[in-house]
C-alpha cells in the first residue's frame, strides 16, 4: 500500500512542479506545433504517397519534441541533489522508474493530442477517420517511446548537454518503434487492415512489454549510484 | 558477532574510483547515541565515506552493519543477487542523510517539500509532522514560500528538517556547518546535542576543528583512504600533533 | 583476464601465424574457389562479407554481455573488454555494410535496398556507432562506462526484437545458397581466418587499453603523493 501512495506522490510532485514552473510543457508543445506546421507546409504539393510521409512526420515531431520532456523529468532531480534524497527513501528503483514513466507518458500523450490535431488541420489527411485505431497506435507508440526514453533519461541525467544527447542515445533504440508506429499510422490513414496492420501492432505491443519490463528490472542497475 | 550495541559497524570497507583507491580498509564503530566527526582534506573521501555508509554508493569490498543488521545495498549484494527490498526499506527508515546540497525541490513550497519527505517515508499524519517541524525550525510563517526565497542558512534548516522528519536513529551529515553564520552554527550545534540526548547516532564531516570538538564525542581523520582517531576526549585541549589539525590551530 | 595473461597476444609469431592464415584464406577465396556462374568475380566478396557479418554480430554480443558485467560489478576491467569489442565490432559491422553494398550493386543493381536483413544490419551499425561516439564524448570514465554500457545492454535487448520483426517480412537477402564443396570449404576457412584475425585484434586492443589504464593509474598515484608543488618552485 505504501508503494502505491509513494508512486502517487512522486507522480503528483512532478506534475505540480511542472504546473508551477512551466519549464518544459510550453517549450515542448510549441516545438511540436512549429514542427508540425513546417512539415505540413512542405507537404502541400505532395499528392502521391502522402500518407506514408505524414505517418513518419507525425512520429518524428512527437519524438523530437517529447525528448525534451523526458530529459527534464530526471534532470530536475539533479538540480539540488534531490536524486540522492529520493534514492534514500524506502522506495525501490523500479517504482521510481514507474513514476517517471507515468509522468512522461502523460506528457507525451498531451503532445500527441496537439501534434495529431495540428496535422489533421494543416495537412488535410484523414488521421482521425478511425479514431479507435489511431488511438491504439498512438497509445502503443507512446508506451514504446516513453519506456525507452525514461530508461535512458535515468541514465543520462546530465543538464549540461541537455536533451540533445538524450535524443542521440534514444534514437537507435527507439528507431524500431518510430518505424512501426509510422507504418501503422500510414495504414490507419489508408484505411488498410489485414495481417500487415496486426503485425505492426503486435510488434509495438511486444516492444512495449519488453522495454517496460526491462525498465522495471534494470533501472536499479543502470542509474548512477 | 557482537554488533548489537553498535549503531554503525563497518569493517574493511574499500572503494575505488578510476581504480584509484579512495577508501582503503576503513574500519568504523559508532555506538548508539554517539556522535563522531570526520575530518580530512578536500577529496580525501569524506563524502564518499558518508555515501557508502548511507548506502547510496556501492562499495567494492567490506561489510557494514547498521544496528547489527547487515546492509545489503552495495555492489556486493547485487552481485549475488540477494538484495532484499524489504531490508533495504527498513534500513532507509533508520537513516537520515543530509547532503552538502539542500535537496529541496525548487518548485515545491517548504511545507510541500517536507510533506513529500514525510509521505515517501510512510509517516502517519504527514501534515501534522511537517507543520511541527516547520515550527521547530522557526519557519512556520514561511510554510508556503518556495525555497529560493530563503537565505542559505534557512534553506539548510529546512533540509535538516527534511532529513530528520522520519525520526531516523542514525544521522549522516555532509558538511552541515559550511556556509552558516555564527547564530546558525550555534542552532545546529544545539540541535545535534539534543539529538544525541535522544540516543541518535550522528556522523558528520567538517573542515573546522572547533565544530568537530564542540559537537563530536570522537574526531576521526580520513587521510590517504584510512580513518584514524585523532582526539578522543573533547574536553581536553587537543594538543593535536596530528598534521590535519595542528596547522589550522596555529593559524 | 589480467594484463600479464595477455602477453602472448603481442608475440610476433602469433601475429604472423594469424595473418598468414588470413592471407591464405583470402587467397583461396580469390584464386582457388571456382567462379560463380551468374555473378562472376564479384561474388568472391561474399567470403569476406559472411565472415565479417558474423563477427559483427559476435562482437555485439560480447560488448553487450561485458557491458552487463560492468553494470553488475562496476569494475572498469569489464568496460575495457566492452570497449575493445565495440571498436573491433564496429569495424566488422562497417565492413559488412561496405562489402554487402558492393555485392548488392552487382547482384541487385542497387547499392542499397530496404530489405529486412539490411535494415537490421544498419541498425546494428548505428548502435555500435552510438556507443563508440559516447565513449569518446564523456570525459569522466565511470560515467562514460555506465552510460555506454547501458546503451549496449539495451541494444542487446533491442536487436532480437528487430530481428524478430524482420522475420515477418519476406526479404530478398539470400540465406543459404547452394554451393560447391570447394566453396563451402573456402567460406569455412575464411570465417576461421577472419575470426582469429579479429580476435587477435580484439585482444591486442584490450591489452593496449589495460596498459593505458595502468599508465594513468601510475600517473594519478604520483599526483596523489605530490599534491602541491612547493611555493618557491611556482615562482611566487
CA–CA distance, B64 with B91 (Å, rounded to integer):
12
- How does DSSP classify residue C40? B
Q: Per the structure block, which three cell numbers stand in for B104?
A: 529541496
Residue A224 scores a pLDDT above 80: no
Interchain pair A203, C161: CB under 8 A: yes
Q: What is the pLDDT of residue A17?
A: 92
Determine the residue of chain C that is closest to A176 in CA distance: C162
CA distance B113 to B96: 15
CA B59 to CA B43: how far, in whole Å? Answer: 17
Residue C127 pLDDT more than 60?
Answer: yes
User: Cα distance from A13 to chain B (closest Cα, Å)?
Assistant: 8
Residue among C71, C134, C157 minimizing CB distance to A214: C157
**Residues of chain B predicted below pLDDT 70:** 1-4, 18-19, 72-91, 231-251
Q: What's the rounded Cα separation, in Å, for the pair A130 and C131?
A: 40
> Pick from A97, A41, A30, A37: which is nearest to A70 by CA?
A97
The nearest CA of chain B is from the CA of C232 a distance in Å of 20
Identify all chain A residues contacting B81, using CB atoms and an 8 Å cutoff: none
Identify the pLDDT of residue C190.
Answer: 93
Chain C residues close to B17, C-beta within 8 Å: 142
C interface test, pick of B16, B18, B45 with most C CB neighbours within 10 Å:
B18
CA distances from B11 to B24, B65, B66 (A): 11, 9, 12
Of the residues B14, B20, B60, B222, the best mutation for testing chain C's interface (the one with the most C CB atoms within 10 Å of its CB) is: B20
Cα–Cα distance measured from residue A145 to residue C66, given in angstroms and rounded to the nearest whole number: 26
Chain B residue with CA closest to A20: the answer is B107
Higher confidence at residue B4 or residue A2?
A: A2
Find out whether B121 and A3 touch, Cβ atoms under 8 Å. no
The three cell numbers of residue C178 are: 547452394
**Do C134 and A173 touch, CB atoms closer than 8 A?**
no
Please spell the DSSP secondary structure of A49-79, one letter per residue. Answer: THHHHHHHHHHHHHHHHHHHHHHHHHHHHHT
Residues ≥6 apart with Cβ < 8 Å to B124: none
Cα(C125)–Cα(C128) distance, rounded to whole angstroms? 5
With an 8 Å Cβ cutoff, is A13 touching chain B? Answer: yes
Q: Measured between CA atoms, how close is C47 to chain B, in angstroms?
A: 42
- All three cell numbers of C185, joined, read 570449404
pLDDT tens for C10-26 read: 888 999 999 999 999 99
Please tell me the distance in Å from A101's CA to the nearest CA on chain C. 17
Q: Are B249 and B209 in contact (CB under 8 A)?
A: yes
CB < 8 Å to C218, chain B: none
Cβ atoms within 10 A of the Cβ of C175, count?
6
How many Cα atoms are found within 13 Å in the side-chain-facing hemisphere of C97?
Answer: 18
In chain A, which among 144-183 make CB contacts under 8 A with chain B? none
CA distance C142 to chain B (A): 7
Hey, what's the cell of C70?
560492468
Residues linked to residue B35 through DSSP beta bridges, in sequence order: B202
Q: What is the pLDDT of residue B241?
A: 47
Chain B CB contacts of A82 under 8 Å are: 103-105
- Segment C152-190, tens digit of pLDDT: 999 999 888 887 776 666 666 777 677 788 888 899 999
DSSP assignment of A113-124, as one string? Answer: HHHHHHHHHHH-
Beta strand B20-31 pairing with B6-17: antiparallel
Per-domain boundaries in chain A: 2-222
A neighbour chains, 3+ CB pairs within 8 Å: B, C
* Measured distance CA(B116)–CA(C198) in Å, rounded: 55
Instruction: Determine, for residues C74 and A207 on separate chains, whether the beta-carbon distance falls below 8 Å.
Output: no
Phi-psi region of B77 (alpha: psi -120 to 50; beta: other; left: phi over 0): alpha
Q: Which residues in chain B are closer than 8 Å to A10, comparing Cβ atoms?
A: 120
Inter-chain touch B103–A20, beta carbons under 8 Å: no
The beta-carbon neighbor of A80 closest among B97, B104, B116 is B104
d(CA A70, CA A108): 9
Rounded to whole angstroms, what are the CA distances from A67 to A70, A167, C132, C136?
5, 6, 22, 23
User: Closest partner residue to A80 among B55, B90, B102, by Cβ?
Assistant: B102
Closest chain C residue to the Cα of B61, Cα to Cα: C73
pLDDT per residue over A59-76, tens digit each? Answer: 999 999 999 889 988 888
pLDDT for res A113: 95
Model confidence at A157, pLDDT cuts 50, 70, 90, reads: confident
- For chains B and C, what is the number of CB pairs under 8 angstroms? 21
Residue A56 CB coordination number (10 Å): 17
CB contact under 8 A, B103 and A13: no
Confidence of residue A116 (pLDDT cuts 50, 70, 90): very high
Separation between Cα atoms, residue A171 and residue A177, nearest integer Å: 10
Q: Which of A17, A84, A89 minimises the CB distance to B120?
A: A89
DSSP C5: G
Query: Do A169 and C134 count as a contact with CB atoms less than 8 A apart?
Result: yes
The residue among C211 and B2 whose pLDDT is bigger is: C211
User: What is the mean predicted confidence (pLDDT) over A211-217?
Assistant: 94
Nearest chain C residue to B41 by CA: give it: C227
Residues C72, B79: C-beta atoms closer than 8 Å: yes
Report CB contact under 8 Å: B95, A21.
no
A218 touches chain C (CB under 8 A): yes
Chain A residue numbers with beta carbons less than 8 Å from the beta carbon of C165 are 176, 180, 199, 203
Is the CB of residue B238 less than 8 Å from the CB of residue B63? no
- The conformation of residue C232, written as its DSSP 8-state character, comes to G
Q: Which residues of B touch C142 (CB under 8 A)?
A: 17-18
Q: Does B80 touch chain C (CB under 8 A)?
A: no
Q: Average pLDDT, stretch A153-164?
A: 81
Q: Determine, for residues A169 and C143 on separate chains, whether the beta-carbon distance falls below 8 Å.
A: no
Amino acid at each position: 500500500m505504501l508503494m502505491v501512495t509513494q508512486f502517487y506522490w512522486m507522480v503528483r510532485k512532478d506534475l505540480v512542479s511542472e504546473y508551477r514552473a512551466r519549464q518544459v510543457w510550453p517549450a515542448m508543445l510549441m516545438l511540436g506545433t512549429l514542427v508540425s506546421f513546417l512539415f505540413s507546409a512542405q507537404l502541400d504539393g505532395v499528392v502521391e504517397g502522402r500518407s506514408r510521409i505524414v505517418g513518419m512526420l507525425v512520429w518524428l515531431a512527437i519524438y523530437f519534441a517529447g525528448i525534451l520532456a523526458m530529459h527534464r523529468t530526471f534532470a530536475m532531480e539533479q538540480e539540488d541533489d534531490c536524486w540522492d534524497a529520493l534514492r534514500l527513501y524506502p522506495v525501490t528503483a523500479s517504482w521510481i522508474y514507474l513514476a517517471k514513466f507515468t509522468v512522461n507518458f502523460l506528457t507525451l500523450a498531451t503532445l500527441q493530442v496537439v501534434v495529431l490535431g495540428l496535422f489533421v488541420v494543416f495537412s488535410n489527411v484523414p488521421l482521425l477517420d478511425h479514431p479507435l485505431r489511431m488511438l491504439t497506435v498512438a497509445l502503443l507508440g507512446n508506451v514504446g517511446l516513453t519506456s525507452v526514453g525514461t530508461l535512458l533519461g535515468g541514465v543520462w541525467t546530465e543538464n549540461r548537454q541537455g536533451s540533445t544527447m538524450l535524443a542521440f542515445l534514444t534514437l537507435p533504440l527507439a528507431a524500431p518503434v518510430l518505424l512501426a508506429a509510422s507504418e501503422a499510422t500510414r495504414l490507419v490513414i489508408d484505411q488498410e487492415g489485414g495481417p500487415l496492420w496486426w503485425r505492426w501492432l503486435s510488434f509495438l505491443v511486444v516492444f512495449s512489454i519488453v522495454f517496460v519490463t526491462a525498465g522495471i528490472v534494470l533501472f536499479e542497475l543502470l542509474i548512477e549510484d | 558477532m557482537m554488533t548489537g550495541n553498535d549503531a554503525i559497524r563497518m569493517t574493511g570497507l574499500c572503494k575505488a574510483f578510476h581504480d584509484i583507491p579512495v577508501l582503503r580498509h576503513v574500519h568504523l564503530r559508532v555506538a548508539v547515541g554517539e556522535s563522531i566527526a570526520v575530518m580530512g582534506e578536500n577529496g580525501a573521501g569524506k563524502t564518499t565515506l558518508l555515501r557508502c555508509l548511507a548506502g547510496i554508493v556501492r562499495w567494492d569490498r567490506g561489510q557494514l552493519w547498521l544496528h547489527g543488521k547487515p546492509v545489503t545495498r552495495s555492489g556486493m549484494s547485487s552481485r549475488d543477487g540477494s538484495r532484499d527490498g524489504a531490508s533495504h526499506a527498513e534500513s532507509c527508515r533508520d537513516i537520515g542523510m543530509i547532503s552538502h546540497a539542500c535537496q529541496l525541490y525548487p518548485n515545491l513550497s517548504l511545507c510541500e517539500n517536507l510533506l513529500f519527505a514525510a509521505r515517501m517515508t510512510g509517516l502517519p499524519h504527514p501534515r501534522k509532522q511537517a507543520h511541527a517541524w516547520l515550527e521547530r525550525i522557526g519557519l512556520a510563517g514561511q510554510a508556503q514560500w518556495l525555497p529560493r526565497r530563503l537565505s542559505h542558512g534557512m534553506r539548510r534548516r529546512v533540509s535538516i528538517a527534511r532529513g530528520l522528519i522520519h525520526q531516523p536513529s542514525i544521522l549522516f551529515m555532509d558538511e552541515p556547518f559550511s556556509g552558516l553564520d555564527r547564530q546558525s552554527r550555534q542552532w545546529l550545534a544545539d540541535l545535534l546535542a539534543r539529538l544525541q540526548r535522544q540516543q541518535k547516532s550522528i556522523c558528520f564531516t567538517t573542515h573546522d576543528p572547533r565544530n568537530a570538538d564542540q559537537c563530536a564525542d570522537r574526531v576521526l581523520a580520513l587521510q590517504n583512504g584510512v580513518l584514524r582517531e585523532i582526539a578522543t576526549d573533547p574536553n581536553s585541549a587537543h594538543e593535536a600533533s596530528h598534521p590535519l589539525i595542528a596547522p589550522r590551530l596555529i593559524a | 583476464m589480467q594484463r600479464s595473461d595477455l602477453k602472448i597476444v603481442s608475440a610476433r609469431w602469433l601475429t604472423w601465424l594469424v595473418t598468414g592464415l588470413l592471407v591464405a584464406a583470402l587467397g583461396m577465396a580469390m584464386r582457388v574457389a571456382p567462379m560463380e556462374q551468374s555473378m562472376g568475380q564479384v561474388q568472391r566478396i561474399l567470403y569476406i562479407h559472411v565472415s565479417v557479418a558474423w563477427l559483427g554480430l559476435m562482437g555485439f554480443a560480447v560488448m553487450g554481455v561485458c557491458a552487463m558485467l560492468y553494470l553488475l560489478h562496476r569494475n572498469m576491467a569489464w568496460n575495457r573488454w566492452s570497449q575493445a569489442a565495440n571498436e573491433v565490432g564496429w569495424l566488422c559491422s562497417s565492413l559488412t555494410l561496405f562489402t554487402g553494398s558492393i555485392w548488392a550493386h552487382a547482384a541487385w543493381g542497387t547499392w542499397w535496398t530496404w530489405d529486412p536483413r539490411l535494415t537490421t544490419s544498419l541498425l546494428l551499425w548505428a548502435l555500435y556507432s552510438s556507443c563508440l561516439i559516447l565513449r569518446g564524448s564523456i570525459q569522466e570514465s565511470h560515467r562514460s562506462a555506465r552510460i555506454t554500457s547501458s546503451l549496449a545492454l539495451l541494444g542487446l535487448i533491442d536487436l532480437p526484437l528487430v530481428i524478430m520483426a524482420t522475420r515477418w517480412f519476406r526479404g530478398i537477402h539470400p540465406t543459404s545458397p547452394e554451393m560447391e564443396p570447394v566453396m563451402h570449404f573456402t567460406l569455412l576457412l575464411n570465417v576461421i581466418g577472419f575470426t582469429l584475425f579479429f580476435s587477435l585484434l580484439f585482444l591486442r586492443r584490450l591489452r593496449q587499453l589495460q596498459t593505458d589504464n595502468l599508465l594513468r593509474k601510475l600517473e594519478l598515484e604520483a599526483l596523489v603523493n605530490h599534491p602541491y608543488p612547493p611555493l618557491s618552485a611556482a615562482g611566487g
